[in-house]
Structure 1
Amino acid sequence: MSASPSAEASARSHGELLTLGVEEEFLLLDAATGEVAPVAPQVLTLLGGEPGIKLEFMRYQLETTTGICTTLDEVYRDITRLREITADATAQLGYLLVASGVVPLSVPGLSALTDDPRYGELARRYPLQAAGCGTCACHVHIGIPSRELGVQVLARLRPWLATLLALTANSPIADGRDTSWSSWRYRRWCQWPSAIPPRAWRDVRAYDAAVHNLIRGGRALDERGIYFHARLSPRYPTVEVRIMDACLTSEDTLLAVALVRGLVAAALDEARRGLPVEHCGRIAAGLASAARHGLDGQVTDPHTGCALRQRDLTNALLNRITDAEPVAQLLDRLHTHGTGAARQRAMWSKAAELREFTRLLAEATRAH
C-alpha cells in the first residue's frame, strides 16, 4: 500500500524541513518452541554488512535503522525493506523475526548478553535490570535546528507521551501468559533508574545538568544510558522519542512516526512563538494507565484538565497536528484493526499451540 496520500506535505517548522529516522528492535524466536534464539551474530553474517542492521543488548535481538528521511513514504519504504531482508536472513537459519515489546516466554537472564564492553558494564552495574531486559522498542528521531529548541520540544511533548504509548502498546504476552497489561515492556523498562519522563527544563543547560547529575549519581552509565522517554539524542541532532513499544506492523510504526513528527513540528512552532508550556500533571499515572489499559486507560486532557479515555484524546492530538490527513487515515486503520496488544491477544486466543502464535506474530511483523 502507499504509506501516505500522494498529496502529503512534508512537515516543516518555519520553512525548515523536519528530517525523520526510525530505530526498530526485534526478537529472534525459535519457530517450534517460541523460545528466544540467540543467533543475531549469525543473522548479521548472512546479511553481509547491511549498514541498517546491528546487534542489540541480547543476542536474540536485532535493531534496524532507517536512513535520514524527509517524507512518510521514504520511512515506510525503509522500514518495510529492513524488516523484509532481516526476516529473510533469519528464516534462512530456521528462526523467526518478531516485533513484540517483550519475549512471549521466559527471558534467559544474562546468558544471552551480546559480547560488547559497554553492555558488559551495564550488566555489572545494573544486574537486576539487565537480566530482565531484552525488551524491544521503537525510537523515532526528528531533526531539530538546535538543542535549545529541542529542550523546549521535550517540555511540550510531555502531555502526549501516554497517548503515544497507548497507541503503540504491543507486549501483552510474557512468561507464557497474558499479563493483563497492554505494554509489559513499559513495566520492565521502567526498572532502569533513568527510564523516566523528561522534565520541563528551562533551557539546555538545565537539561545537561540533569543528565550529568544522573550519571554522577550512578543512575546511568553515560549519556547513551539516559533513558528518558523522550530525550535529546546523544549522537544525532535530533529529538528522540523512545516511549513506544516495538510496533507489530510497518503501518503501526508509520503511525508512530507521523504522530511524533506532527507533535514535534507543533512544539517547535509554539516554542518559537513564545507560547507558554501547558501544565501537565500526573504524567507517571497517565503512562502507567496507558501501559496497563492501552487506549481504554484514563488520562488527563492537557487542554481542559478533564479525565477521559486515551482513545478519546486522539482527536485532540489530531487537532494539534498541522498535516493531519495521513495521520487520520492511519489512526482509522488502527481503530478498526486494534492496537498491537489487541491483535496479539487475538492471536494468543486463536493459536492452538505456541508455534502457531509465534508464526502469526512473524507473519504480522513482515506484513505490508
Structure 2
Amino acid sequence: MNKDVLTFGVEEEFFVVDRDGHLSPAGDAVVDAADEEEGELQQELTRSQAESATGICTARDEAERQLTALRTDLAEAAARRGCRLLPSGSAPLAETVLPAITPNPRYERMSEHFGATARTSHTCGCHVHIAVPDRETGIRVIDHVRPFLPALLTVTANSAICDGYDTGYASWRYQQWNRWPSAGAPPLFGSLDHYESIVDAWLRAGAILDRAMVYWDVRLSEKQPTVEFRLGDVAATVGDAVLYGVLIRGLVGTILASEARPPKLSNEVLRAQIWRASREGLSGRCPHFRTGDLAPASEVLDDVVTFAAGALAETGDLDFVRDGCARLAAEGGGADRQRARFEKRRAAEDVVDLLAVRPARD
C-alpha cells in the first residue's frame, strides 16, 4: 500500500432501545459503562442515543475491527441494562413520549433554541472523515464530490420504517435531519472565504449556535484536519459501513489526483437529486453523477466505483468495494432489508429484532 494513503475514520450513531424496541433513556449510562479499547464513545443529543468513533485508520481492516469492537462493547453495555443497541437511521417504533435531551449544557441550549426541531429530530447517521492537508483543499474536495452525493446516500440508506409504518423512503432519516437550518446539500463554494462567509452569517442569524452545528452533507471538520461526510444513515452492518467509508476515501483520492474543474451543479438541482436517492435508495433509480439522468441506482454505484477505481486499487480496496456493491445489489441495502422484514407481519418490532446488535456474550 502507498505510504501516502489517505487516512480516515468512521463515526456511528445508534439508538438505545428497551427489550420491546422502544427508545430507552439509558443511552448516556450505556456509553459510560462500555469498555472500549480502541476508538471513542460519546453521548448524543438525546438520552436514547449513543455514538462511537474509530481512531485514525489507514486500512479497511483497521476500521472493520474497530467498528465491530465498538458496536459489541455498546451492545454488551446495553444488554447489562436490559436494553439493545439499534443501528437504524430512524426509530422504527412509534413513541408516545419524546426522548429526553441529554443533560449537557450545549444540548440543553440547542433544545431551548431550536424547540421541536431538536426534540423530534432524533436520527442516527454515519459520518466519514477523510484527512486533507488544509482547509482550502477540503473546499476543493467538497466542490468536486457534490454530484456523487446521491449515489453515496444509497449505500447506507437504512431508515425505511419509522414510527411503526413504512415511510415510502429508503432514507427517511435524511428527510428528518434536513429540518435543521444548516443541514442539506452544500453549495458550490469556490473558495474557503465563501464557506466561511456562510458560516459567519448563520452564526449572526442564530441559525447555528456554534461551528459544530454546521450540518452540511459534507463539511470541514472543526476538530480534525478532515473533510467530514455526514449524509449517510448509520449502516445496518459493519460491512456496509466499511464499504461506505473506503468508497468515499477512493472518491476523495481520485479528486485530489485530478486537475479538473468542479461541475457547475446548482444547489437546487443537487437537493432534488439527493431527495430522489433518499426516496428510492439502492433498489430504485438514482440521478447519474455525470448526466443527472435517472438510472438504476446499482448501475450508478458501479459507475462511481469505476470512476474511483485507480485510487481504490492503490489502497487495495477495489475488489472489496466491487464485491460489496454486488452484494448490495443482490441482497438489498439496509432499507430493503427493513422493508422486507416489516412486510411479513407489518410489525416494526420485527425490524428491531433484525437490526439489533448481538452482544458477543449473547
What's the TM-score once normalised by structure 2's chain length?
Answer: 0.91
Change (3 A) 1:108 1:257: farther
Deviations 1:131-153 (A, max 9, x none): 21110000000000111111000
**2:300 aligned to 302, 310, 313, which one?**
313
Amino acid at match of 2:325: L
What does residue 3 of structure 1 align with? none
Contact 2:13/2:52 (CA < 8 Å) preserved in 1? yes
SS at match of 1:53: strand
Contact 2:298/2:325 (CA < 8 Å) preserved in 1? no
Deviations 1:86-137 (A, max 9, x none): 1111111111101000111235665511001111111111112112111000
SS at match of 1:74: helix
Change (3 A) 1:296 1:352: closer
Q: Does 1:91 find its partner at 2:79?
A: yes
What does residue 4 of structure 1 align with? none
SS at match of 1:17: coil
Amino acid at match of 1:188: Q
In 1: Cα distance, 2:96 partner to 2:252 partner: 38
**1:337 aligned to 324, 331, 346, which one?**
331
SS at match of 2:14: strand
State how 1:123-272 maps to structure 2 within 5 Å.
Answer: 123-270=111-258
Change (3 A) 1:298 1:364: farther
In 2: Cα distance, 1:195 partner to 1:102 partner: 17
SS at match of 2:56: coil
Q: Does 1:289 find its partner at 2:276?
A: yes
Change (3 A) 1:354 1:181: closer
What does residue 104 of structure 1 align with? 92
SS at match of 2:261: coil
What does residue 301 of structure 1 align with? 288
SS at match of 2:183: coil
Cα displacement (A) at 1:303: 2.5
Q: Matched residue pairs, number?
A: 350
In 2: Cα distance, 1:214 partner to 1:334 partner: 38
After superposition, the CA RMSD in angstroms is 2.0
Contact 1:248/1:365 (CA < 8 Å) preserved in 2? no
Q: Please, which moves more after superposition, 330-339 or 65-74?
A: 330-339
In 2: Cα distance, 1:60 partner to 1:210 partner: 32
Q: Does 1:326 find its partner at 2:320?
A: yes
What's the TM-score once normalised by structure 1's chain length?
Answer: 0.90
Identity of aligned residues (%): 36
SS at match of 1:16: coil
In 2: Cα distance, 1:49 partner to 1:296 partner: 36
Contact 1:24/1:65 (CA < 8 Å) preserved in 2? yes
What does residue 315 of structure 2 align with? none
